Structure 1
């Protein structure tokens, strides 16, 4: 990589499509991308406040809305970077709709946008520390990942016990899909597919979640590195650094941006009292 690529981290002059750019980490990422010189197109259910080249209404819970949005956004291609990073907590919409938005709708959006992503481009998603159990549910996760996104809602309607809270299952599926789908994309089109897995982050998402999780959970949640929740902007920088073409050899990776929480819990360095059962 030419050292000159450090200017803008490879985003200067690039065409970017991002979901979730109206709030939280998505809004922070959209703003930073603009500052790095990218042309940013935002898809969201709400109109963004951050400056962008275009806004497209998209409800990830509605497959028809997703298809309408992707049909419009494919026209802005070739796309250098795709960030399908919108997401919702289960208490805001219920477990089934949470699954539809976070996994099925996000995957539908991604797959329908891929024809417009240039060969050698990059796609990056957001999973969560809530996906820490993906290996424990691997057989089930692989079964569901093998389904077309349009069949996911029906699967969980027939198997409601497997839905759990909707959120952790959706993030596990994204994690498994990243690991699996990245290989074919790499071999056939040299597209990199990665994700970050944040911990509790200081955005409106977590403010609303705290009302449901309770103060005891919030007080017990460890922040060993920063001594506090990371900001949306701090998480957005990890997303952009991972996706930068400077990381040319990285695909199929899910980067833990969680202050060491999952690894520390697995190894016993952190007590798991803050973790709710999955």
Structure 2
């Protein structure tokens, strides 16, 4: 194999792929990139304006996409998003389960149960419910494909005063590994991507304070925040056949923060 052959295989032509949280940030960047690599994308989000805008940018660039409004924690909604992808594009070959929140921040002694439940439900249960719906269809129809879940650098390390977020993202890593082992023999690869601090619209609110932004940048050895497109590149690679021997991995795309 020559040095570029692997990169030549980051081709998603003919694949039907779901992207949750596709209305903005890393989800939008991933949906756009995946579509540009030839996939038909089902953009899933609760926010209709953002989801429709993502679809509009994809179709304007000559790609294929549809928007489905869905709550990823709802079993009926996730079943419907899978059905929508299959109905429109004939199959479901993969998914980027990216939707999530940072949630409230406080020491555990001051952290409410309501805030805990909200963050765990969206970040961890949402990935469980989404994957279950995706895998049910894929296994029932003998489809071999790839699923990528968004965890975080917080999936393998602690962040001050974010007990629910850190717990939820650690949970995504564990769930990813378990499901990967269970389904590898069926030809379905499951992996996780672990972004570091990335300049998404959600993060931009937190980093509106220049001092906080500078602190976040200095915490990453590379000395800057990530861009959504950088996370999208990893997701696209994991969804493609170029990563055909990657199973159950939690891959950091974090500017070096987990290595420091």
- TM-score, normalized by the shorter chain, greater than 0.5: yes
Superposed CA RMSD:
2.8
Name the SS of the counterpart of 2:134 in structure 1: helix
* Aligned-partner Cα distance in 1 for 2:151–2:202: 14
Change in 2 beyond 3 A, CA 1:259/1:177: same
Name whichever of 54-63 and 100-109 sits farther off.
54-63
Name the SS of the counterpart of 1:55 in structure 2: strand
| Match 2:242 to one of 235, 242, 246 | 246
* Aligned-partner Cα distance in 2 for 1:201–1:169: 19
Shift, 1:74, TM fit: 4.7
Shift, 1:174, TM fit: 0.5
Q: TM-score, normalised by structure 1?
A: 0.74
Change in 2 beyond 3 A, CA 1:232/1:59: same
Matched, 1:201 2:214: no
Change in 2 beyond 3 A, CA 1:104/1:246: same
| Match 2:143 to one of 119, 137, 148 | 119
Task: Identify the residue that residue 170 of structure 1 maps to in structure 2.
Answer: 168
Task: Identify the residue that residue 58 of structure 1 maps to in structure 2.
Answer: 70
Change in 2 beyond 3 A, CA 1:205/1:182: same
Q: TM-score, normalised by structure 2?
A: 0.79
Name whichever of 42-51 and 214-223 sits farther off.
214-223
* Aligned-partner Cα distance in 2 for 1:177–1:219: 33
Shift, 1:60, TM fit: 2.3
Question: In the comparison of the two structures, how many residue pairs are matched?
Answer: 232
Shift, 1:5, TM fit: 7.9
Residues 162-213 of structure 1 deviation map (CA, whole Å, 9 limit, x = unaligned): xx632111111110011111111002x11100011010001112123447xx
Change in 2 beyond 3 A, CA 1:209/1:169: farther
Give unpaired runs (5+ residues) of structure 1: 135-163, 265-278
Determine if contact 1:46/1:57 at 8 Å carries over to the other structure: yes
Shift, 1:37, TM fit: 1.3
| Match 2:215 to one of 208, 211, 220 | 220
Give unpaired runs (5+ residues) of structure 2: 59-63, 106-113
Shift, 1:100, TM fit: 0.8
